[in-house]
Structure 1
Amino acid sequence: MPNILEPKMITGSSNMPLAKAIARRMSMHRGQTVELVNARVERFNDAEIFVEVYDNVRGEDMFIVQSTSRPANDNLMELLIMADALRRSSAKRITAVIPYFGYARQDRRTKARTPISAKLVANMIVEAGIERVLTMDLHAAQIQGFFDIPVDNLYASPIFALDIKQQFKDTLSEVMVVSPDVGGVARARELAKRIGAPLSIVDKRREKPGEVAEMTVIGDVSGKKCIIVDDMCDTAGTLCKAAEVLIEHGATEVHSYISHGVMSGPAVDRVTKSVMKSLVITDSIEPTQSVLDADNIRIVPTAPMFAQAIMNISTGTSVSSLFETETLEPSYEGLFKG
């Protein structure tokens, strides 16, 4: 009989709670304990990163869980060094599980003499010996084409759809999905289709990065409970301004569903003081204590989805099946409560 390899997981320091949660979910599905591979990640006095893997990984199907979030450069180097350590230890296959893919906003040249850093990062990942990438809600879908290896890009929208149907189960007819800019219309439309809601757009015009000069609402939001959907929230300036504009145009409530809660600088303070009733983010980036303490910020788990995706990749079965709300629903049974 052929020897079927069991997936083995190892994690860097960027999001240890998520890695442990994925391992727990895999243990539940498999009916046996799935442990993280024992390893250490250290920094020398000059901040060089050193990795040592204690367990034998020869011939194993390895999955490295590591978001390349803040500090992006350190976490990226951890990922690359861990991949090199596994490759030199004769791992059979190395898959990088990158819930949040840093540098994704640098996916094209916006002006002369600027880099395409997302492509550079993709080259580094491939060169390190990683043979497959599993990520979620890339800032730009075309980044998948930057890699010369398979890339599975999962979506948070099925998870959000499950949560929205639970949270707004009695008032779903009043819900309207809003894209905070024209570029995010496809993402917003996808969620709107899943929950059967109409779609609106906030058209913004920037004078310079980080500042919003003017916002126009396209669509009638009066009397609606608006749900802003986007892939990331960094400083939350645009998000909070969009919420204000929607209220000014007659929306009764504004909620936001964001895949990646970067939450830099004044973001948490802005959100807590904003007109938004709630901001829902995933745990693709480990939340800070200030995020956990915020009354109107809520976190939905991605571990059930990533655990199932890892098991599907390991057994050679479909990952795209996880794009459907109905397929994912059993994994989230009992997790969402109104």
Structure 2
Amino acid sequence: MIVPGSSSQLLAATLAEETGRPLATPTYDRFPDGEGLAAVPDFDDDEATIVAATDSDAAWVELLQLQDAVREAGAERVTTVIPYMGYARQDESFGDGQPVSARAMARAVSTGTDRVVLVNPHEAGVADFYDVPVETVDAASVLAEPLPTDLADPLFLAPDEGAIRIAETVRDAYGTGETDYFEKHRDRDTGEIEVSPSDAHVEGRDVVVVDDIVATGSTMSESVAVLNDRGAARVLAACVHPMLAANAVTKLRGAGVDRIVGSDTLERGCSVVSVAPVLADALD
């Protein structure tokens, strides 16, 4: 059975349809003292696939409870799909006495599962923190599907050189266009940092700024503003994980983003495409 965490109900339902597996209906309750309780009263299977984005501390606790709940209900094998892994950017210690938070979370999850599937973790190395087999799925290709089919001389831009692969993946799935990445330049006179594409010209072109995650939107909105100043025809933002915290959407719109495209690893208003088909292949 597919068992959804409360943050991943739409994705879990879509994955159930893709795989033909039954969908459990967990309950998510909270006691007066603030403690949560996630349960699976209708679970009846010997295999469980828990689908739970960990976009908050409460979501992490809920995931651990669901793992324990399906074991209590008789599951002999548990697969844990984490569409968005929170704490993945805390993959190393910040200093003496500081935790490696991604490792701590991975170890906790490992105690209640036989296998983990991650979708585009922000730092690939976090997969090594788990004590069970881990499969990392690249779902960036799905971002091409909802893009307009009439992009003019499209350019797919990554946030930096190290992330050029994600831009190439979306470009390849779209079927045409160039790729490039942003570079940061410090002005010798003012000390200010300027963000700009490394090589490609953008004037008159449709530009898709691609990233694995958009959190606060600050970095991407700076990049979008530069593109509009340089005469880009349209600028679209595409990301696997649309965290879009606080006023991120307003920042991006204010900077001139024509459209924001995200997947359902995090269920937001711009989650217009599902990673379920990619996950279904991984689960086969």
Question: TM-score, normalization: structure 2?
Answer: 0.87
Instruction: Give the superposition deviation at 1:86.
Output: 1.9
Instruction: Give the superposition deviation at 1:307.
Output: 3.6
User: Quick check: 1:235–1:263 contact (8 Å CA) kept in 2?
Assistant: yes
Tell me which residue corresponds to 1:221. 201
Task: For structure 2, list consecutive stretches of 5 or more residues without a partner in the other structure.
Answer: 187-191
Instruction: Give the superposition deviation at 1:213.
Output: 4.2
Instruction: Give the superposition deviation at 1:110.
Output: 4.5
Tell me how far apart the structure 2 counterparts of residues 133 and 104 of structure 1 sit (CA, whole Å).
14
Tell me which residue corresponds to 1:49. 36
Query: What is the percent sequence identity of the aligned residues?
Result: 29
Tell me how far apart the structure 1 counterparts of residues 258 and 27 of structure 2 sit (CA, whole Å).
41
Match of 1:118 among 102, 109, 116: 102
Does residue 274 of structure 1 match 2:244? Answer: no
Instruction: Give the superposition deviation at 1:271.
Output: 2.4
Instruction: Give the superposition deviation at 1:171.
Output: 4.4
Tell me how far apart the structure 2 counterparts of residues 307 and 245 of structure 1 sit (CA, whole Å).
39
Question: Within 5 Å, which residues of 2 pair with 1:287-298?
Answer: 287=268, 292=269, 297=270
C-alpha spacing 1:109/1:197, structure 2 compared with 1 (3 Å): farther
Match of 2:3 among 3, 10, 29: 10
Match of 1:283 among 264, 267, 270: 264
Tell me how far apart the structure 2 counterparts of residues 88 and 146 of structure 1 sit (CA, whole Å).
26
Tell me which residue corresponds to 1:190. 169
Does residue 106 of structure 1 match 2:90? Answer: yes
CA RMSD of aligned residues (A): 2.4
Tell me how far apart the structure 2 counterparts of residues 252 and 181 of structure 1 sit (CA, whole Å).
22
Tell me how far apart the structure 2 counterparts of residues 39 and 281 of structure 1 sit (CA, whole Å).
26
Question: Within 5 Å, which residues of 2 pair with 1:1-338?
Answer: 8-27=1-20, 34-55=21-42, 57=44, 60-69=46-55, 72-127=56-111, 129-164=112-147, 167-168=148-149, 170-171=150-151, 174-194=153-173, 195-204=175-184, 213-223=193-203, 224-287=205-268, 292=269, 297=270, 299-310=272-283, 312=284
Instruction: Give the superposition deviation at 1:48.
Output: 1.4
Task: For structure 1, list consecutive stretches of 5 or more residues without a partner in the other structure.
Answer: 1-7, 28-33, 207-211, 313-338
The alignment of Structure 1 onto Structure 2 pairs a total of residues equal to 277
Instruction: Give the superposition deviation at 1:56.
Output: 5.2
Tell me how far apart the structure 2 counterparts of residues 307 and 77 of structure 1 sit (CA, whole Å).
25
Tell me which residue corresponds to 1:334. none
Counterpart secondary structure, 1:134: strand
User: Quick check: 1:43–1:49 contact (8 Å CA) kept in 2?
Assistant: yes
Instruction: Give the superposition deviation at 1:14.
Output: 1.5
C-alpha spacing 1:84/1:154, structure 2 compared with 1 (3 Å): same
Tell me how far apart the structure 2 counterparts of residues 117 and 152 of structure 1 sit (CA, whole Å).
20
Counterpart secondary structure, 2:126: helix
User: Quick check: 1:200–1:221 contact (8 Å CA) kept in 2?
Assistant: no
